[in-house]
Amino acid sequence: MKGARLTDGEMSLHGHRITYRAGGEGPVLLLVHGIAGSRRTWETVLEKLARDFTVVAPDLLGHGESAKPRGDYSLGSFASGLRDLLAVLGHERATVVGHSLGGGIAMQFAYQFPERLERLVLVDSGGLGRDVHGVLRSAVLPGAEVVLPLLAAGPVVGAGAAVGSVLRRVGLRLAPDLEEVARSFASLHDREARQAFIHTVRAVIDVGGQRIDASDRLYLARAIPTLLVWGERDPIIPVAHGHAAHALMPGSRLEVFPGAGHFPHRDDPVAFVELVGEFMRENEPAALDGPDLRALILAAAAEPAASG
């Protein structure tokens, strides 16, 4: 068993502060959190994963302790930032593990930088269907900037029982879901964090649900080992998205955690670590380059004509 020493670090990327937690040895796992989250969402699994892998868990721009500038909060911009983070840390390639919004970013990373991706792990991922909880859809409505400070107010967030009662009324009943969403509210206590949150939400969600849907490009994953992990009772993004994506991703593996919510890695961290380790051992890294990507796209483009 290798060392699992983890340290917190920070760097300046393009003039903006980026914070992260990293450590361990072995193949690189880049862990990407969800919207209004931070590297802390991985705290129950990070040390265990670092026993066998090099783990890198950043706070995305606009999240956690990283800078929160006015700027581009699109999936493409996040993916480019992750590429640059890995480059500065000296990692040429990685297996990308993305949760919720982080799953959408992971898929965008795969699309933009296929030569840097070894494997893909999508955990209750966004970007695979229209459905998303109304709490997130409400953030795109006019006046969201006024409501968010009330939700993030210290006395409200500090009243755990009251917050839990409110969140349970909108369908968030499982303990890890309540804990993580309450922590997300708490992270929006300052104006810069709220603005970054709203810009991020509006880049991927509208009043009808998720704006970004990668389903038409999932055939590209046939060249990339892909693991889909979902909570059976996810109230944020339904498990049906996982089943549909699995059907569209040749060779992918789907694992549904019974009774789990939107954070299966927190509901059952031991099972999650074992699953990721098994997936890493059983699947050789992808070796996809520009010509390979071109061939996949051209083959897919030819299919309708051939069937006609």
Paired with 30 in beta bridges are 56, 96
Active-site annotation, residues: 100, 234, 262
Residue 124: name the closest of 99, 150, 95, 159 by CA: 99
What's the pTM?
0.86
Long-range contacts of 179-182 (CB under 8 A, 24+ apart): 179/266, 180/37, 180/41, 180/262, 180/263, 180/266, 181/135, 182/157
Residue 225: name the closest of 102, 302, 304, 119 by CA: 119
pLDDT in tens, 4-55: 689 999 999 999 999 999 999 999 999 999 998 999 999 999 999 999 999 9
Q: Quick one: pLDDT band at residue 140, thresholds 50, 70, 90?
A: low
Q: How many Å apart are CA 231 and CA 238, to the nearest integer?
A: 8
pLDDT of residue 222: 76
Greater confidence (272 vs 149) lies with: 272
Q: What is the DSSP letter of 4?
A: -
CATH for 6-131+211-307 is: 3.40.50.1820
Q: Are 131 and 291 in contact (CB under 8 A)?
A: no
Q: Quick one: pLDDT band at residue 132, thresholds 50, 70, 90?
A: confident
pLDDT of residue 299: 73
Greater confidence (114 vs 133) lies with: 114
Q: How many Å apart are CA 124 and CA 242, to the nearest integer?
A: 7
Residue with tokens 């979902």: 230
Q: Are 56 and 71 in contact (CB under 8 A)?
A: no
Parse the chain into domains and list their residue ranges: 6-131+211-307
pLDDT of residue 133: 73
